Amino acid sequence: MTVETIIETRVRGLTFDSVTAGEGLKNALEMSRGAIIDLVRDSRLKGRGGAGFPTGMKWDFAAAEKREPKYLICNADEGEPGTYKDRVILTDYPELVIEGMTIGARAIGASLGLIYLRAEYAYLKHHLEEVVEARRKAGLLGKGIAGIDGFDFDIVVGLGAGAYVCGEETALIESLEGFRGEPRNRPPFPVVSGFLHRPSVVNNVETLAWVACIFAKGVDWFKSSGTATSTGRKLFSVSGDCARPGVYEFPFGITVAELLEEVGGEDAKAVQVGGASGRCVPRSAFSRRIAFEDVPTGGSIIVIGPGRDMLEVAHNLLEFFVDESCGQCTPCRLGNGKLLEGVDMLMEGTCTTDYLHDLRALCNTMQVASKCGLGQTSSVAFTSIIESFGDEIMGHAKRSR
Ligand SMILES: Cc1cc2nc3c(=O)[nH]c(=O)nc-3n(C[C@H](O)[C@H](O)[C@H](O)COP(=O)(O)O)c2cc1C
Ligand code: SF4
């Protein structure tokens, strides 16, 4: 599918359209650094990159660090299969993202911001650099931002090299430093020791854009939608077997069924919520809510139509992880391959029920023993497919004696 085709499918009318660029930053710069962090904490904004870590808390940790310089990194790697909402934000609302970065920099005391752009988005680099340059000329980046003595912050745009694991924040930092993109051990977390081993905040593109909206429209406006634990609204990239794929904005707490109705996917057999590393939600659970406390997601929604073979779905997702595992740790490097081999055996009718049981135990091992989020989540889709489509899958498995 070409970029133009994807853009054509996009649904307009996002909240971002109603925000006047500059308003959020202006309001934030009238506040003290501590008050900025308090307001973000009060909004209960959770990171839109997938893990849902509270943004105010992350900024607070970084602000408390004494070592300098500090860095604010915008994670624009967007490598999760089925996700393309950050690309829309970077294309149409880059001002909001950069405003969010500037507010974050003010709050934590960062002097440099880095946008880590996935290799496939290289065509956006020039566009972003033009926006950055225009803001420098307007005195909104560089030395003494908005006339505030000592508030010096600039932004550079870096490019990834095409690895999904580089979306993981510590692999991203390694890659930004010019090394092979492999996750680091945590702790220490990036807020303590990140880019060049200095305190660094890594935030998703969408998180930063919402920060600008919160300061423009107010914290009560933000909290008036969503659920008590997952406040606000969320962008979703919808793809797969539905009539109207595209980028949508819904409040957190929307049920899977309601979302499917909006996108024309009512007859779905299942929905892969959260991309390849997310959960496969079967039809019987379509009343579940999309929110961090129920079914979490970084924004990828892949609709699986009634005619799909769930083993083929599992095969497709596991092939991705076999390709993308960085190979540093054994549970992930070998585990994904073993799961894929198991799906092949199921397809051929040579997998016994005992072996399937062993594979499920392997999933547990991968979830607890892998070094980073890739290996910790790569088996989630497999286990949820086995759990929810037991009848369909067991029809393929040989009974053990
Ligand atoms: C394998 C892997 C890939 C990831 N890819 C992305 C990504 O493309 N974009 C993103 O924002 N976060 C991604 N994350 C999550 C980041 O590590 C990090 O939690 C996030 O950027 C923090 O931003 P937030 O708090 O604003 O969500 C990924 C995590 C893992 C384990
Ligand atoms: S879990 Fe996978 S991707 Fe993460 S460090 Fe281990 S091998 Fe690499």
Question: What does each C-alpha distance from 163 to 103, 120, 183, 234, 373 come to in angstroms?
Answer: 29, 10, 12, 25, 14
CA gap 203, 360 in Å, rounded: 33
CA gap 51, 43 in Å, rounded: 17
Give the Å distance between the CA of 234 and the centre of ligand 1.
15
Task: Let me know: does 101 contact 74? Beta carbons within 8 Å.
Answer: yes
What would the mean pLDDT of 253-267 be, rounded to a whole number? 97
Of all ligands present, the nearest one to the C-alpha of 274 is 1
CA dihedral sign of residues 30, 35, 36, 41: negative
CA gap 136, 142 in Å, rounded: 6
Judge whether residue 10 has pLDDT over 90. no
CA gap 308, 304 in Å, rounded: 7
Give the Å distance between the CA of 76 and the centre of ligand 1.
9
Give the Å distance between the CA of 23 and the centre of ligand 1.
27
pLDDT score at 141: 98
Judge whether residue 267 has pLDDT over 70. yes
Does residue 317's CB lie within 6 angstroms of at least one atom of ligand 2? no
What would the mean pLDDT of 177-183 be, rounded to a whole number? 97
Which two three-digit tokens encode residue 137?
Answer: 């000329």
Judge whether residue 394 has pLDDT over 80. no
Give the Å distance between the CA of 174 and the centre of ligand 2.
14
Strands 279-282 and 270-273: antiparallel
pLDDT score at 372: 98
Q: Give the pLDDT band (50/70/90) at residue 400.
A: low
Judge whether residue 101 has pLDDT over 90. yes
Q: Give the pLDDT band (50/70/90) at residue 356.
A: very high
Strands (E), 133-197: 154-159
Judge whether residue 370 has pLDDT over 80. yes
For residues 165-175, one letter each, b for 16 or more C-beta atoms within 10 angstroms of the residue's C-beta and e for the rest, the string is bbbbbbbbbbb
pTM higher than 0.75, yes or no? Answer: yes
Chain position carrying tokens 């070592």? 67
Does residue 81's CB lie within 6 angstroms of at least one atom of ligand 1? no
Of all ligands present, the nearest one to the C-alpha of 373 is 1
299 phi-psi bin (left φ>0, alpha ψ -120 to 50, beta other): left
Point out the ligand 2 atom lying closest to the alpha carbon of residue 183: 5
Task: Let me know: does 310 contact 332? Beta carbons within 8 Å.
Answer: no
Does residue 342's CB lie within 6 angstroms of at least one atom of ligand 2? no
Strands (E), 215-299: 233-240, 246-251, 270-273, 279-282
Give the Å distance between the CA of 48 and the centre of ligand 2.
22
pLDDT score at 165: 98
Does residue 373's CB lie within 6 angstroms of at least one atom of ligand 1? yes
- On the CB side of 250, CA atoms within 13 Å amount to 26
236 phi-psi bin (left φ>0, alpha ψ -120 to 50, beta other): beta
Strands of 112-117's sheet, edge to edge? Answer: 154-159, 112-117, 71-76, 200-204
Does residue 202's CB lie within 6 angstroms of at least one atom of ligand 1? yes
CA dihedral sign of residues 342, 345, 349, 355: negative
Give the Å distance between the CA of 198 and the centre of ligand 2.
23
- Identify the residue whose C-alpha is closest to ligand 1 atom 30: 168
